[in-house]
Amino acid sequence: MEITAEAAAQSILNHFSEGGKVVLPVDPVEVARFLGINVYKTKLDNTLSGMIAKVSPQADTDIIVNSEQAPVRQRFTIAHELGHYFAIRSDPIRDGKPFIHRRAQLAACGTDSEEIFANGFAAQLLMPRNEVIDASRIGADAALLAPRFHVSLDAMTNRLRSLGLAK
């Protein structure tokens, strides 16, 4: 059975909940460490937001994020790379094998199924459906919600649209 991006993210969010509510903002570095993944911040080429790699079957999994980008962008990149990790782990053919994924222009295009999965995972991890819906019910808009979830205004606007909560 194939797992959805939202279900994969929710499986992790369950570990970061108190009394059934997700503790906000979700820290993607803490999530990565919980999964045994190392996170490194360093200067990368401007066209590269980050990457996730496992260079050999025995090696650790590492996420490298561009330290030159805004903190909200770094958070989304880490969450996006975690989405790739879950996609790989849920595929018996690829699980345990070396891999490398780079977050570049293709990630934002919305045309590659793996990038769509990773973006959906990141959105659910950082902006959990139930918490966003609850906050929007009390009249909060993207400008008010983005700082609460520690994401960019664009990311929150896209999330509200994808949940049918904004035009």
Identify the pLDDT of residue 19.
Answer: 84
Identify the pLDDT of residue 148.
Answer: 94
Identify the pLDDT of residue 122.
Answer: 98
What residues does 63 pair with on adjacent strands? Answer: 39, 52
What CA–CA distance (Å, rounded) separates 47 from 141?
Answer: 30
Identify the pLDDT of residue 109.
Answer: 55
Q: Output the CATH code of domain 5-127.
A: 1.10.10.2910
Encode pLDDT of 122-137 as tens digits. 999 999 999 999 998 8
Single-letter amino acid, residue 81: E
Query: Before 128, cis peptide (omega within 30)?
Result: no
What CA–CA distance (Å, rounded) separates 108 from 116?
Answer: 9
- β-pair type (62-66, 38-42): parallel
Identify the pLDDT of residue 78.
Answer: 98
Read off the pTM. Answer: 0.92
Identify the pLDDT of residue 112.
Answer: 80
Identify the pLDDT of residue 104.
Answer: 66
CA distance readout (Å), 162 to 9, 15, 155: 16, 25, 10
pLDDT tens, N- to C-terminus, the chain (167 residues): 478 999 999 999 999 888 888 999 999 999 999 999 999 999 999 889 999 999 998 999 999 999 999 999 999 999 999 999 999 988 888 888 898 988 765 555 556 888 999 999 999 999 999 999 999 888 789 999 999 999 999 999 999 999 999 87
Identify the pLDDT of residue 1.
Answer: 46
